[in-house]
Structures are given as C-alpha cells and as structure tokens.
Structure 1
Amino acid sequence: MRAALCLGAVGAQQPLRQWGQQRQQESGRRRAQQQTRLGGRRRNNPFPVPHEWYQPGEFIVGGVLSQSFYNFYEILYKEHPSKNLFDVSYMVPKFYQHVLALVFAVKEVNENPNILPNITLGFHIYDSYYDARMTYRTNLDLLFKMHRFVPNYKCDTQKNLIAIIGGLGHDTTFHMADTLGLYKIPQVRVESDANQVPSFYRMVPNEAHQFVGIIRLLKHFGWTWIGLFAMNDNSGEHFLQTLEPLLSQNGICSAFTQRIPEQLHIDNVDEMHDIALNMYVGIRDNKVTTFIVYGESLAITALRTIIFLSDPTNKENTSFIKVWIFTAQTDFISMGLLKVWNVLLFQGSLSFTIHSQNLPAFKEFLQSVNPSRTQGDGFIKGFWEQAFDCIFPNLDAPMDVSGMCTGEERLQSLPRSLFEMSMTGHSYSIYNGVYAVAHALHGIHSPRSKQRAMGKSERLKLQDLEPWQLHPVLHDISFNNSAGETMSFTDQREVEGGFDIVNIVTFPNRSFLRLKIGWVDSDAADGKEFSINEDMIMWHNDFNQVMPISVCNDYCCAGYQKKRKEGQKFCCYDCTPCPEGKISNQSDMDDCFGCPEDQHANKKKNGCIPKTIKFLSYEEPLGFSLASLALCSSLITTLVLGTFVQHKDTPIVKANNRDLTYALLIALLLCFLSSLLFIGHPGKVTCLLRQPTFGIIFSVAVSCVLAKTITVVAAFMATKPGSSMRKWVGKRLTNSIVLSCSLIEVIICSGWLMTSPPFPALDMHSVMEEIIVQCIEGSVTMFYCVLGYMGLLAIASFIVAFAARKLPDSFNEAKFITFSMLLFCSVWLSFVPTYLSSKGKSMVVVEIFSILTSSAGLLVFIFAPKCYIIILKPELNNREQFLRRRM
C-alpha cells in the first residue's frame, strides 16, 4: 500500500494537530462501526480479503483496478502496533466509476448479438489496495482460484481468464506484469508509460502527445516562468527528465521543481512539516503564476492538504490563486475529511484528459446502481458509505439509527469530486479496453479468421483457447465502439489519437464542470495538431477574466530588447533600449532589428517610418542661396567682361594680353555657372557632366592664370638686351600654355567617362533618416586625378607668380595672381578633407562652395584692381600715365 497524503505547512503544526485530533475522532468512529460490522473482531490476517466483483462467463476479463481503496490499517497498524489511529480503510469514491465502466462494457457486449453470439463474457474485478503485496495476491486469485485461494493450482475450469485490464498506476501495472507476463496474458492498460512490455496494450495515446501539448499551451499564453510538481516515483522522474529539456528548447524555464511524496505517516508531524515547507515556499512565489502538476490523483490530495494546513479556516488565500495545469493522469478526488474542503482554489485550471465520448446509456446504467439491486459487487457498500457518509446497519449488533444508509441515496446528488455521472477519460479507456478484447475474441471465432489466427483448419473449442493466442488479432484490431468512434492500435500498441484540453469550472458545493476548450494530437493533419479556444476559458475570478501572466520579470516593451542577467536562468533578464538605428515592434523580443532600407527607426524605436528623399534642391533655402550666389557671381563676371571689352583699347586692358584676359573671364563665368549642375535632382545627364565640366573649365581658368604669370616673366626677360625670349613673347606662348594644359585635363576626363563614368544612385545608409539622391563618381581615382591635376596647375601658377611679384612694371599682375592662387590653393586643399568627412547633400554644398569661393577669389584678386582703375580712376588709364609710372 502507498498512500500519498502530504501533510504539513509553514507555521501549521497547531492546525495539523487539530486536524489530527479530528482525524482520530473520525477514525475512532469508523473503527467502532467497522468492528461492529465485523463482530468486534480485529483483522490480523496479513492479506485481508480483497474487495472483488465476479460474474461468470465463457471468457473472463480480469480487472485489477488500483487506487480504489486506501487501507491505512493494513500498513500503518502493522508498522506501529501501538497506534490504533488509522486501522480503517478509506475509499476514493470517484474511482468506483472505473469498476462500473468495466461492468457496463461487459453488459453491452453480452447484450449485443453482433459481438460474440452465444458466448457470455464474464469479469472478475479486484482492488489492488494501491499495494504491491495485494497486487500480487489478486493476480494469483485471478489465475488460480475460484472460491478458495490455492496458489499455482487451477481448480475450476469455468473460469477462463482471457485478458486483464490494469489500473491507473504505473507501479500497479508493472507488479501485475511480473506474474502475468509469464503466461503471456494480454494486459490492457489505461495509463501511458515510456517503457514497453510485449503483452501491454495501452488504451491511451502516446504520452509524447501530452508533452507536445504542454509546450504548445505554455507558448500560446506566453508563460515562461513555471513551477513543476511531480510524484516522487519513477514516472515522475521520467516526466521531469523529458519535459525540462523541452522547456529549455522552447524558451521556458522552471522556477522550481517540487517532488510530491508517495507516502507519509500522518502521525509524523515533523516529517510532514518539512515536506510542506518546501512545497509551501514554491506555491507562495508571486512571480510563478502557472504550475504543472504531474502524478496520479493523490497529487491533488497532497496539494489540497498543504493549502488547507496553511489556511485552516478554509478561506481562499490569494497567494494560492494560480493557473494549475494538470496532466491526464491526475483527477480531482475527495475522500475522508477532504470531502468538506471546497475546490474553488482550482477554478480556471487547465487539464489534459484522455479523450472520451458521452454515452447516454452509461448514465442510465449509473442511475440504476443501488446496493440492494447489485449482486456480487464487493465494492458498492464501501463506496456507498464513503460517498454518502453513512453506515449500513448490522443485524447482529444494535446500532444508532442516525447516519444509516437507506440505499435510496442518488448518485447524481454527489459532487463531481466524489463521483461523476458522465464517463471520465480513464473510464472510457477501460470501456474501450473491454470492447477491444471482445472484438479480438469475435475475430478469432469468426469462420474467416479462424485458420489465419490459429494456423489450424479444425474447429477450436472454447475451452482450448489460450490467452497468448489473442495477441495476433488484438494487435491489428480495429472497431467502432458504441459511441461511433474508431478504435485501433499503433505499431507501439497504443491507441491512436491525442488528448483533450479542458477548463475546470468549480462551484461552492464542491462540484465542478469540465469544459472542453481544445485538443492536442501530433499525428493529426497539418494545422490541426494543436487547437485551443481562448475565449471559452473561465479563469479564476481574481484574474478578472484577464489572461494571467507567468514570467520571471515584466515583458520588455516595444523599443527594448532582452539582456540576460548574470547567474540567473535565461528567462530572467533586463530590458535595454534598442541600439541606434534598430527597433523592436513587439514586446519581449530577444534582439532588435533594422528597418528596411527605405525606412528608419522612430524616436521610440518601436516602429519604422519612411525616409525622406533628400538632395540639394532649388526650393530649399540653402540650394536657393547657392544658386542665387552663382548667378550673381556670373552676372558680375559678365559685367567685368563687358567692361573690359568696352575698354579694350585702354593700356590697362592691353598690358597683360587682352585675349588671355577675355578667356580667363569667360572661364570664370562658366565656373560660376557649372555650380548649377550640382543643384537639383541628380539625373543621368547631370551626373555625367558635373564633375568633368567642372574639372575642364577650372583647368582652362587656371591655365589662363598660369599663362598670364609666364607672360609677365617672359616679357621682363625679353626687355634685356640680346635676350632670345623676344620671339616667345606673344600669343603663340599663351595659346600653347592654355591649350596644352587644358588638353591634358580633357584627356583625363575623357578616359574617366569611357572607363567608369559617374551615375546617379540612392544612398540609404549615410544619413539614418534620409535617402540621399546623389551622383556616384564611378571611379574615385579618376575624380582625384582631375582634382590633383587642377591643383598641380594652381601650384605652378602660384610659384611663378610669387617669383615674379616684385618685377618692375607699371602694372605688375603677378602680385595679384599670387594672392588669388594662394586663396585658390587654400580652398581646394581644405576641400578634400571636408568633402571626405561630409555626408549626403553636405558633400554637394562643400563642392559648390569651393567652386564659388575659388572662382570669386580669382575674379576679385585679379580683376578688382583693374576695374577700380577703369571705372573709378580713368585718368590713370592712359598711355602717358602708364609710361610715367613705368619710368
């Protein structure tokens, strides 16, 4: 026997003693009543007479349905002979439905003329007392006796055991397998386990479906911080070893893992207190809202006891308001003093259950159950007394009439924690197990399958059929039960299908409803493996019908990303803002991500907004100002050119090569106008022309300046007697300098356009909030070659002008050219680093400014003094004055 009553809680020793006193009084009353029924005799037999129910037939379906009785007397009294506190059996009334499901299935089979005609199916049902010794004892009873216990001797041929339906517990099933496996008797199980035994046929789906369902359920609701409760046995250990890696793989953490003890001696208060302390701390954790409970139905009993002892007044404590997720092995049960405890604490719980169908005939069958009309049922009196809290009269001894069972009590009046009128999943599995055996027998005895199954042509007599001969047919069986569902086994001898997901709705009268809200079946068609209707869920009232949250810390808002906390599980993290240029548009994101190229992050970093298209346009103030400045400068240059043309015959205009002056002014005019190519939406033509045009025109301008300076030096040298420079002074020298220097720049630009010409492109990355429409140089090397050659000409002009600045002359241009070229070189030397450090339209602005500044410098320093004399000092612009100044 194993009784999993987990008792004790923090600071609850006094309530525990009070509860123990109540339990002692209750036990004393029960013990006195039981001894009265037994004639005042104490049972000293180490193997008490098992509770059983027998109905004869050609074939017997045996049932060892565990967990029906918890016999405290058999273990606790023998371990502690001096203690008489618990020498009484307590039954779990709810499990009586499993017995009735087997009986009902046999009854339907026998009444169905299409299954096993002219053959009566019988049954023999035993209770295992949830004890290994009793399980072995009942196995021997099923195999070898009819009315008397004679081990290893079959004394009655009428009892032809053909198959056995095992109980809900893993241990009970494997204790049965130790004996029954020797005889290869088919064992139909109503619980699932990872271990495989050849003679086992599981009437429940593969437990892997349930693991998948748990993970899908947690991910659906976003519960990542959960508590785990599991029975402290092999099945609980297997559950934890399987589930915990799945949780980690799916981003879910277990806040704690608590094992529920299999057995506690209720008189050991200290032991119960220590166990309750560990469980109590986990339950009171406010961060953990979701608990998963794995284990047989005693797990519920343990949890209810712990919570009761922490709140003996039976008032709901909001610290225990959680979302409980129960596995299919667990059921809500009440027994003993637990019957007076409500189940409101588990309101809104979610439970995986074995799929079942409503059978109206089964409900009618339950309504007909009555102690006076049931023959051979060794369970019903114990069930009736436990369920209705009454005692059947003993005719041999006088008894108080108060609290007597009348037999007229109605099952439908019991709360669901004591008994359910609708067939539960476990009962449905037992029901289908009987039908599977019946259809297998029917298949063997049908004429078409006899030779295939038995390998013989002669007729097989009923009494000659051995249980092991049922395996070939049972493995491949497929049938429709009375509910219209098709039942068949997989290759692993497990029934096909999945699990239902139900919502537990509780009531103050200790009853509850199961509301189906979804299902899980990994073998279903794509898209139907998991389904849940969240709108149907009735959460606990304290949640105000808002989906609970179970996380280690608050979710990270949009615009933030997770940052793991050192030394803690990965489900516990801090929230940090997204890096610059990245966003998170959902809560609780692991990493931020970048926006599409044509969008950028908003200020809150929780969304993307379209980038604005930017280029230096005429409409914006800066573009308009630069364009206006270029036009004004062009106009001034035009006026200067007009002034020089108008005064072309004056000495000051003729003094420094009049044609070269006109060429320089025209080049400067084009330089100012070339800056307009950099303003406006860049197109293929403008991108193709802007840099080469700028380079060639500036080269012409600087070449003209270089020619002017060389002309000054050559003219001075030509004035010396016997000088050979006389033949070089004139238009031939200046034209050669201008043409040759400009031609080199033209060649460079032509090569640039032919090899890798500039083209328009969109720059998505230089400026985060903008899409810059710009011209790509194509070949950066060629671009800097153009600038470098122009700079080389400027430096040469500066050097020559600087050397000739002090030559005697009536109007020496060299000194003015020196200043202009100094400014020109300064502008373009500073242009390179400024241009490289700029982005977007700022690069265009820098280049336009450099063009305008350098052109204006040449115009001002070279032509302003001449214009001053021509316009304001015309008296100085005559031959006599010119010669006088020269002398």
Structure 2
Amino acid sequence: MFHVYRTFWHLILTFHVPASCTDVNLLSSSPSGILVPGDLLIGAVIPIHIDKLYPTVTFQERPPTDICTMFRFENYQQFQALRYAVEEINRSPYLLPNRTLGYYVYDSCAALQSELEGTLWMLTGQSPAILNYCCRETPPLAAIIGHSLSTYSILMAHILGEYRFPQVSYFSTSSLLSDRNQFPSFFRTVPSDVFQSRGLAQLVLHFKWTWVGLIAPDDDYGHEGTEVLRQEIIKEGVCVAYTEYISSNFIFENIRNIANIIMESSATVVVAFSTDIYLIPVLEEMLKRNVTGKIFISSEGWSTSNVLSVEKYSPILSGSIGIAFHSSKIQGFHEFLNSIRPFNSPGITWSKLFWEEAFGCRFFDQTNISDLLNDQENSCTGEENLENVQNSFSDVSNLRASYNIYTAVYVIAKALDDLSLCQRLDGPLPGRECSDLDNFEPWQLLYYINKVQLNLSNAREVFFDKDGNPPAIYDIVNWQPGSDGTMKQVKVGSYDSRNSSGDVFGIKTTTIWWGTETQEVPLSVCSQSCPEGFRKATKRGEPVCCFECVPCDQGEISNQTNSVDCWKCPWDMWPNSKRNRCFPKPIEFLSFEDPLGIILTSTSVVSCLIPISIFNLFIQYKSTPIVRANNYYVSCILLVSLSLCFLCALAFIGDIQHEKCLLRQAAFGLIFALCVSCILAKTIIVVFAFMATKPGSGLKKWTTPHVPYMIIVICTFVQFLLCVIWLSVSPPFPQYNIEAKPGIIVVECNENSPFAFWCMLGYLGFLASVSFTVAFLARRLPDSYNEAKFITFSMLAFLSVWVSFIPASLSAQGKYTVSMEIFAILTSSWALVACMFLPKCFIILFKPDMNSKEKLMGKDRNRNM
C-alpha cells in the first residue's frame, strides 16, 4: 500500500501543470480555512467538524460544495490552543524575538479529500490549489501540524516527505509512521501505537484477563495497533477470542456481525483499538440487542471521547478502562477561552457556529428580510457569558489533544528560533553554513526539529527520538458515572516509558469503578482457574487459554492456581489429600509397640519357655528309659536350639539397624540348621541302630555316641559356611522402600543377594527333606527303636509351613512380609516341639507306668500274649 501511495503522488507532483499565479490574494481564506498573517507561517489541519455530507454529483454542473456536519467543541478548543500558543510566542521576548508567527488552519471534517485539499491549499497558497506550484513568495511556510487520522497522515507524509517538508502530528499514532525511510519529515507530539499497545497489554495482564476480544477499524491505525497488541498479549500467555475489523463504509452486515460475535463470545473483555467515529455504529447495534456485561478497554482514540460519554451508552461503556494521552494544564488557557467572542476570533464562521451550539441560539442576518420577520427571541447577541457554559470546550482540567497541538506549535517555534541562532560552521548547509530565517528551505528547518529540546511550563521535556517519536506518557482512565447521567473519565493510573526505576506501569485498583454490584475485578477467562492440586491440560484444537483441570497424578502436587505442571514430592514425602502440599511419609516397620508386634513378641517369649520347661523336665527324668532311649544329649541340644528358634523371631521386630539386618537372617539360618541337624542325627541313628542288629552288618561301627554329634557339626557347619560367604560378599543392609506402599516409607532389610537368602533357606529345606525321607522309610521299625514316626510328622509339618511361607511372603508387603516370616518361624518351631516332645512329656507326666524298660522294649505286650 505504501509503494502505491508513493508512486501515485510522485507522478502527480512531478507532472508539469501550466498555471498562472496572477491576482492571487494571499490573505484570502478558503471556504473551510483561515489565514492569520505573520512573519513566519505554520499550517494546521484540524477537523473542527467530524462528518461531511457529500451532495449528489450529476456531472451536468459544477459539483456543489460539501457540507460539514457535527461541530465538535473539543476540536474547536484544539484550534484555540493553537491560537493561544502562537499569541504566547509572539509575546515572548525569548522565543523568536522581533518575529511574529502566523498560521493557516483548515477544517478537514475528518474526511480524506478535505485533508488533502487543506494541505495543498497551505502548500500552494492558492484556493483551489495548484499542484506542484507555490503562489506565495513570502512569508515562508515553516511546517504543517496534522493530520487527524493515521491513514490520512500516512498519505500526507508521502507528499510532504518528497520535499522534506516538516509535518508534526498531534493525533496520528500508527507505528508505520516511525519508518524514517518512507516518512523522513514526519514527527508527532503523541506516542507511537507501539507504546500504546504495550500499555494496553500491561493493562490486560494487570487484571489477569486471559481471554479477550479485539475490534478495530479496517485501516492502518486499526491493523497496525491490533497487530502489536496481539503480539504483546500473546507473548504473555493471553489468548485472543476474536479479532474483528469495522468496515470504514459502515456496512450494516459487518456491524451486525461484530455485535453478534461480541454478544456470543465468552470473553468478557473487549479491547477496542479504534476512534469514536468507528465505534458508534457497533455500540448502537449492541444497544439494539441489549448486550451488557462486557468491559471495554479503550485505546487513546476514544478513551476521552465526549461523544461516547453520553448517558445513552452508559449501559455498555460504564466501567470501561483504557489509555489516554497524558493530560496537562496550560496556564491562563481557561481565561483565554472565556474571553472569546464571536467577532473577535479568527474564523468568524467557526466562532459563530460554536456560539450557536454552545448557547442554543442563532445569529440572524440583519440584511435578510425573512430573518427580520422571524421571531428573534432565540437570537444570539454575541455578549453571552462563556463562564456559565459547561461543556467539552470549557473543560480544561485534562487537556490532551489540545495540549499536543500547543506542544507542536512550541516545537516548531523552538526549531525556528534555533535556526535563527545558527552560528557559522554549525549549520545544515554545505560547509556547515547557516540559512536565513526569511528565506530557508523546509529540509533546513527539518535539521533543527530533529535536534529540538524543549522544556514546557509543566516541566515536561519534549524531544524526538531517531524515529520522530516523543517520550511515551499515558494516563489510565476509568469511565465512571457522573451526577448528570453522563460518564466521566477519571485518571486511575499512568504509563510512563521514561521512568528510570523500570516501574513504567502504575494503577490504583481501589479507585476503579467496574459497574458491578460487588465492584470486584471482572473475570475474562476461557476456562475457570485450576485450583491447587490440579494442572492445566489444553483442549485439542483450541487456544492455550482454553483448558481442562486434571488432578495431579499420584505422588505429585501443584501448590499454585493454573499450574501447567505437577511436580513430584521428595522421596521421603507424600501429598496430602488435596495434593497441594507435601508431608513427611509415615515410616512403617514392625515395632514392639505395634499391636501385631506385641502379639508376636509375646508369643515368641512365651514359646521359648516351653522348650526350656521340657529341657528342665528331661533333666529331672534323665534316668528314665523314655529320656535315655531318645538320646538324652541330642534331645537337650535340640531343646536349646528350639528355644533359640523362638527367640530369633525377636530379631525381626523393632527398629531396623545395620547390625540387626546383618545378623538376623544368618542367626535364623544357623539356629534352624542346628535344630534340623539334631533331628536328622536322631533319624539316622535310629536307622543305624536297627540295621546294626542284623547279623554281619557293617553299620555297627556307626552306632557310637560320637556319630550324631559329627552329623550335627557337619550339617550346621555347611550352613555356617553359606552364611559367612553371604555376609562377606553381599551382606544385607537397611533400606527405605518407597515402592512397596504408596505414601509410606517401609523400613526393611534388603537381603542384597536373594540367591544367598534362598540358598540358606533351601539348605534348611534340604536337611528337613532328608530327615523326612529317612524317617518316613523307618516308620515301620519296631516300637522299641521307633522315634521315626514323630520325626516324620514333625518334618512334614516343618516343610509344610515353609513351603506355604514362600507364596505368602511374595504376596505380602511392608511389615507384613516380616510378620509372615516370624509366623513361619514360630509355627515351624511349634511343629517340632509338638511332634517331637509333647508325646514324651505326656508319658512322663501323666503315664509314668509306660515309662519303663519293659514297656519301651515291648516285653510286657509279649507276656500278655
């Protein structure tokens, strides 16, 4: 688009148009403009009206003059601000002394055609304008202030940039105008939209709005501003629900569609990067549809609009918040405005229109008979008092656009003053020469505008960066209801890019009025916030702001709202029920205080007393046949080992310590190996004793008293050797097991080498199996030698217990694994005690008559036969 502009205007301006400049009255005025003479001239294009009627063109007669409509008080104030600045400078002894400033002002009605017409009128000094010619020899035109919209300024900047003619805008904010390659002579006293977009993004982020809609006019201002704003908010994680552009020709279908989208969208916040002219049709359509409950974020284009501040739009715009040009005061300006009269101000046509609008009266033409005949009760006298009028013209409490025009006049004047003070070897001409203030070229003044530095009366410093932009300062305003039904723009914060501390954005949240019952900050989110203990999971095909809340997985927490991820607790901690805090995991082991531990401890201690009691009984009756017949000393060793078997269960109860882990399985293996070895020795001796009685048997030598002890020592030593190798090569150690039970730390002994453990247990099984097999084969031996029946039952019970222990231990977890092993120890020990010794104790205690040699040898039975 820019290249089209440049090419188009380059062809027009370089095309030779023969013309004559005779009979030109330089002091004449255009129908829509005025000229106030002076030694130096500045031009300004100001839309004192904001709309225009375009009469029908029949092509059969000269086109009639366009008619401007909708007179704007605030825009007329802007014109008076220019006039006031010029008069201040002309009175100043320090700025352009002995020189007077004059000015052109043109009412463009905010129409592109009129903007172009007014600019060419000021450049050529002729109405109608003659392209590529200047019919004004003196005084020189220094610069042009304008234009009203960014799109119009871009077009004018292409024309003025061809000749490096200074252009200072007070209202155009498009970031495109910062391109010095395309617009080398463009400056502005308002910040670029880049800064405004960043400020709007900061506003959205400050209130944690993550789901917003964007609307903007379909022009350079709207597209560029919206694009920068979109980039800024998306970078911070905010999502755009929709982006709609308002057609410049106000097509009804387009407006209706935009209002429908705003109404149906779940986004509560609507950022309107627009001017009030374009926004009015959208608001009208929203009123028809009764659309409420939306919060509008305003750009500077309409944030202080008096047209939209009326009571009509309050249901929609009340509570709006946005960015406005920095407000300032001009000393003495209020008194100056009150001193204006219809016939003492330049531009009598405008001043009369202003007077009629302000006082609701009408000036009648005294030469017109029809006017004289009409009722003149409502006629204007010109003596009405402006101090009694309260409107946007008289309101100087927050000057924005007017102050920007005031600043633009001072910038041009300061540049002209710097040019007049130029010293040799410091000027813009070749050889660093200076130019004459009465005869200078536009590009020479451009040199000084680039370098201008100006301190205004409000202590504000004005200068331009390399792109022609001033320091960015904005006010944050909130639309609050006034007592008269209209809405007032109340300053609630500021955005200042010059803040050296880095805190460029500040807002007083407590002073904001939202227009809701609770006065709380409205929410504008696609999805409700995820509470602590949940994480956000994006929905497929939707923006990142639209998500589902998924509970954190087991063992994970999130202690922030809208957490993207959950994170695991430390290994020794576990989430609470809400999964937003980590607490130390409870430690589990089979303690002596645990009910199960108390039961097993008591059983173990009581049980160990049984073999001791039997041992004591055997000592008392060691001379009796039943005690002697069962190998008294081996039986005593077996009883002691059984007592130790019951006690070794205590090594598996209580706090886990390194020494306990190292010795408990080895102690269990050795004691049980000793116990089973004793039973095996008993079994083998029974068999040898019976076989040795046969004639010619060579087993008689194995029936000596030393054989059972040798068997016991050898079998126990093998187990001892296995345990030593295990403890030397891969010793057990205590460990914290966090996998066995979620949320619990199980303190246990890690056997380190499962192979060694099962070898030790397997060896016990091997000894028991051999004992069982031998005893089973010897079960039919004569009663006098037959203890094999008791051994068979005891080994069968022993093996059954430990075979059952294997699957039970594999299925148990935590302290119950240890409990299963203790249970197996106690049960197998009781099986041996019950099967091996209880029958003998019964005979000793309750059947003493059977405790005789005859009964044991079976002689008494043979005698009865």
TM-superposed CA distance for 1:641, in Å, is: 2.4
Q: Which residue of 1 aligns with 2:280?
A: 301
Residue 419 and residue 727 in structure 1: after superposition, are their counterparts in 2 closer, same or farther (change >3 A)? farther
Which aligned pairs between 1:19-38 and structure 2 lie closer than 5 A?
none
Q: Which residue of 1 aligns with 2:42?
A: 61
Match of 2:173 among 188, 192, 197: 192
Q: Which residue of 1 aligns with 2:465?
A: 490
Q: Which residue of 1 aligns with 2:362?
A: 391
Give distance in 2, aligned partners of 1:524 and 1:804.
Answer: 105
TM-superposed CA distance for 1:384, in Å, is: 4.2
Instruction: Report the number of matched residues.
Output: 820
Residue 704 and residue 306 in structure 1: after superposition, are their counterparts in 2 closer, same or farther (change >3 A)? same
Read off the aligned partner of 2:797 and give its amino acid letter.
Answer: L
Q: Is the 8 A contact 1:300 1:333 kept in 2?
A: no
Residue 136 and residue 703 in structure 1: after superposition, are their counterparts in 2 closer, same or farther (change >3 A)? same
Q: Is the 8 A contact 2:309 2:486 kept in 1?
A: no
Give distance in 2, aligned partners of 1:742 and 1:412.
Answer: 120
Q: Is the 8 A contact 2:422 2:434 kept in 1?
A: no
Give distance in 2, aligned partners of 1:359 and 1:782.
Answer: 97
Q: Which residue of 1 aligns with 2:9?
A: none
Range that drifts further, 810-819 or 292-301? 810-819
Give distance in 1, aligned partners of 2:33 and 2:854.
Answer: 149
Give distance in 2, aligned partners of 1:733 and 1:360.
Answer: 126
Which aligned pairs between 1:405-804 and structure 2 lie closer than 5 A?
405-407=380-382, 408=384, 410=386, 413-416=389-392, 420-447=395-422, 451=426, 453-456=428-431, 459-509=434-484, 511-520=486-495, 528-540=503-515, 542-565=516-539, 568-804=542-778
Q: Is the 8 A contact 2:143 2:165 kept in 1?
A: yes
Q: Which residue of 2 aligns with 1:277?
A: 256
Q: Which residue of 2 aligns with 1:24?
A: none
Read off the aligned partner of 1:672 and give its amino acid letter.
Answer: F
Residue 111 and residue 878 in structure 1: after superposition, are their counterparts in 2 closer, same or farther (change >3 A)? farther
- 1:170 paired with 2:145, answer no
- 1:347 paired with 2:318, answer yes
Q: Is the 8 A contact 1:300 1:331 kept in 2?
A: no
SS of alignment partner, residue 706 of structure 1 = helix
- 1:842 paired with 2:828, answer no
Q: Is the 8 A contact 1:94 1:333 kept in 2?
A: no
The CA deviation string for residues 171-228 of structure 1, in whole angstroms up to 9 with x for no partner, is: 1101212311111112223332232233222433343333333344333333233322
Read off the aligned partner of 1:462 and give its amino acid letter.
Answer: L
What TM-score, normalized to structure 1?
A: 0.83
Read off the aligned partner of 1:211 and give its amino acid letter.
Answer: S
Residue 669 and residue 143 in structure 1: after superposition, are their counterparts in 2 closer, same or farther (change >3 A)? same
Read off the aligned partner of 2:701 and give its amino acid letter.
Answer: K
Range that drifts further, 770-779 or 184-193? 770-779
Q: Which residue of 2 aligns with 1:858?
A: 832
Give distance in 1, aligned partners of 2:573 and 2:770.
Answer: 49
Q: Which residue of 2 aligns with 1:39?
A: none
Give distance in 2, aligned partners of 1:204 and 1:789.
Answer: 95
Q: Is the 8 A contact 1:623 1:679 kept in 2?
A: yes
Give the CA RMSD over aligned residues.
3.6
Give distance in 2, aligned partners of 1:722 and 1:523.
Answer: 121
Q: Which residue of 1 aligns with 2:346?
A: 375
Give distance in 2, aligned partners of 1:791 and 1:546.
Answer: 77
Which residues of structure 1 form unaligned runs of 5+?
1-47, 265-270, 311-316
Q: Is the 8 A contact 1:283 1:320 kept in 2?
A: no
Q: Which residue of 2 aligns with 1:324?
A: 296
Read off the aligned partner of 1:214 and give its amino acid letter.
Answer: L
Q: Is the 8 A contact 2:555 2:743 kept in 1?
A: no
Range that drifts further, 641-650 or 806-815? 806-815
Residue 258 and residue 708 in structure 1: after superposition, are their counterparts in 2 closer, same or farther (change >3 A)? same
Percent identical: 37
SS of alignment partner, residue 462 of structure 1 = coil
SS of alignment partner, residue 438 of structure 2 = helix
Match of 1:813 among 787, 803, 822: 787
Read off the aligned partner of 2:197 and give its amino acid letter.
Answer: F
TM-superposed CA distance for 1:476, in Å, is: 4.2
Q: Which residue of 2 aligns with 1:3?
A: none
Q: Is the 8 A contact 2:310 2:486 kept in 1?
A: no
Q: Is the 8 A contact 1:412 1:421 kept in 2?
A: no
SS of alignment partner, residue 632 of structure 1 = helix
Give distance in 2, aligned partners of 1:730 and 1:389.
Answer: 143
TM-superposed CA distance for 1:466, in Å, is: 1.9
Q: Is the 8 A contact 2:217 2:274 kept in 1?
A: yes
Residue 136 and residue 636 in structure 1: after superposition, are their counterparts in 2 closer, same or farther (change >3 A)? same
Read off the aligned partner of 1:494 and give its amino acid letter.
Answer: N
Range that drifts further, 618-627 or 349-358? 349-358
Residue 610 and residue 876 in structure 1: after superposition, are their counterparts in 2 closer, same or farther (change >3 A)? same
TM-superposed CA distance for 1:80, in Å, is: 14
Q: Which residue of 1 aligns with 2:799?
A: 825
Residue 875 and residue 504 in structure 1: after superposition, are their counterparts in 2 closer, same or farther (change >3 A)? same
Read off the aligned partner of 2:302 and give its amino acid letter.
Answer: T
SS of alignment partner, residue 53 of structure 2 = helix
Q: Which residue of 2 aligns with 1:254?
A: 240
Read off the aligned partner of 2:295 and give its amino acid letter.
Answer: V
Q: Is the 8 A contact 1:617 1:681 kept in 2?
A: yes
Match of 2:140 among 146, 160, 171: 160
The structure having more radius of gyration, on CA atoms, is 2
The CA deviation string for residues 217-257 of structure 1, in whole angstroms up to 9 with x for no partner, is: 33333323332221122332334444445555544333333
Q: Is the 8 A contact 1:291 1:325 kept in 2?
A: yes
Read off the aligned partner of 1:648 and give its amino acid letter.
Answer: K
Residue 870 and residue 232 in structure 1: after superposition, are their counterparts in 2 closer, same or farther (change >3 A)? same
TM-superposed CA distance for 1:419, in Å, is: 6.7
Give distance in 2, aligned partners of 1:768 and 1:80.
Answer: 94
Which residues of structure 2 form unaligned runs of 5+?
1-28
Which aligned pairs between 1:227-266 and structure 2 lie closer than 5 A?
227-244=213-230, 247-264=233-250
Give distance in 1, aligned partners of 2:402 and 2:696.
Answer: 133
TM-superposed CA distance for 1:338, in Å, is: 9.1
SS of alignment partner, residue 464 of structure 1 = coil
Give distance in 1, aligned partners of 2:96 and 2:806.
Answer: 102
Read off the aligned partner of 1:160 and give its amino acid letter.
Answer: P
Give distance in 2, aligned partners of 1:457 and 1:248.
Answer: 49
SS of alignment partner, residue 295 of structure 1 = coil
SS of alignment partner, residue 100 of structure 1 = helix
